[in-house]
Amino acid sequence: MPHTDIILKVSERFNHALESGDLLFFPSTITKHVDSDVEYEIRLCTALQHKPALPTPNFDAAADSGVALGGSGGKVFDPFAPPYNPNLYIGELKDEESEEEFVVVLNKYSVVPQHFLLVTKEFKSQATPLLPSELVQIYLFLSTARKLGKHIFAFYNCGDNSGASQPHKHIQFIPLEDKDGPPLEKLARKAQLQFPDRPFSLTQLSYASHSYRFPSNIATCSPDELEGLMANAFLQLLDLAISTIRHDPEYPIGKPSYNVIITREHIHIIPRRRENYVLSENGEKLSVNALGFAGMLLVKSEQELEIVKRESIGKILRGVGLESVHDIQVEGTAREQPLAGML
C-alpha cells in the first residue's frame, strides 16, 4: 500500500477502532514547563492509573527464540503477529530495495489520537538497530504526511532500558499538536552549527544526546541517495552513543539501550542507562521512553505532575540517561554554537 494511502487511512481507521472498542483512548491535558531554560511538555493522563502495567520484556530471550515471549502457561504471545485485528490494521508495504515487509497498525492504547506503528512483518528484536530500509520507510512516512498537510514524527525505543513495551521490532509515529515539533526539535532547529554535515550535541541539555541535521535537499533525494544519507546519519550517531556508554564504567551489562527520535529535519539518538527514574519525594517510579527525551513527559496524576516539576525534568532525564562526554568526542564532530540567553 502506498504511503499516501496509509497516512490518509489513519484518521478514518482510528475513529472506527475507537467506536468498535478495539482501541482504547485515554484523554489527557498538556502543561508547558520551563526547566533550566528548556521548555518541556508534561502530559497528564489520569485514566492511565487504571491501565495495568506490563512487565519489561526480555529482549534477549525474545531474540533467541525468534518470537515475543509472554502469556500464561508458557504460551507464546506476540501482539504484532497475525492474525491482525481488522479494526487496528491499516495496511502493509514492502521496501523496494531490500524487499523487507512491514505492517502498519494503530496503537491499541492511545494517549495521542492517530498514534500508529510500523512493525516488521517477520519477528525482529526491539534490541536491534534500525536498518537502512527501516530508516527510509520512516522518512517516507514523515515526508508524505507533510505533503498532505499533516505533522508527525517518529521514535524508536531500543533495548531493555529504553522504555519499550514489546520485543517485536516496531517504530512509532504520533501527530504533533505543535507543527514546530517536539521541544527537542525546537532546540535542534535553533542550533547554529559550524559543520552542518556532522553530528552535534545540544549543550542546553543535562544529558548525553547526539543529533544530526539532514541536508535541505533531502526531499529531492533518490531512493538510493535517501538510504545512504539516512544510514550514514544513523551510524554516526550510534557510534557516538556507544562511545558515550563506554565512558560510563557503571553502565549495566548487556546490549546497549537508546532512544531514537526522527523528524523531517533531524535524527537524534539518546543513550539510556535505565528505564525508570525513582522520584525522591515519594519513591515511586516514573517510566521514561523516547517521548520523554523528545521533551514530552507523561504523568498519571496531578500530584505526580507537581512532584516532577519540583524534582526537575533535567534531573529526571539525566537520571535515566548518561552524562555527556561530547567535549571528549568533539574532534571530528560539530559543536553547537551556544545561543545567547540559552545557557
Q: Which positions are catalytic? A: 170
Identify the three-state secondary structure at position 152: strand
Q: Which residue has the cell 514546530?
A: 180
What's the half-sphere exposure (Cβ side, CA atoms, 13 Å) at 64? 4
DSSP characters for 153-222?
EEEEEESTTTT---SB-EEEEEE-SSTT--HHHHHHHHPEES-TTS-B--TTSSS--EEEEPPTTGGG--
Alpha-carbon gap, residue 74 to 329, rounded angstroms: 46
Identify the three-state secondary structure at position 114: coil
Alpha-carbon gap, residue 271 to 257, rounded angstroms: 6
Identify the three-state secondary structure at position 234: helix
Residue 28's φ and ψ, nearest 5 degrees, are: -150, 170
Q: Which three cell numbers, joined as nine digits, stand for 339?
A: 545561543
Strands 38-44 and 296-299: parallel
Alpha-carbon gap, residue 122 to 42, rounded angstroms: 35
- Report which of 240, 226, 270 is spatially closest to residue 138, judged by C-alpha positions: 226
DSSP characters for 31-50?
EEEEETTEEEEEEE-GGGGG
Q: Which residues, 6+ apart, have CB-to-CB distance to 199 below 8 Å?
A: 210, 211, 212, 233, 236, 237, 240, 333, 334
Alpha-carbon gap, residue 335 to 293, rounded angstroms: 20
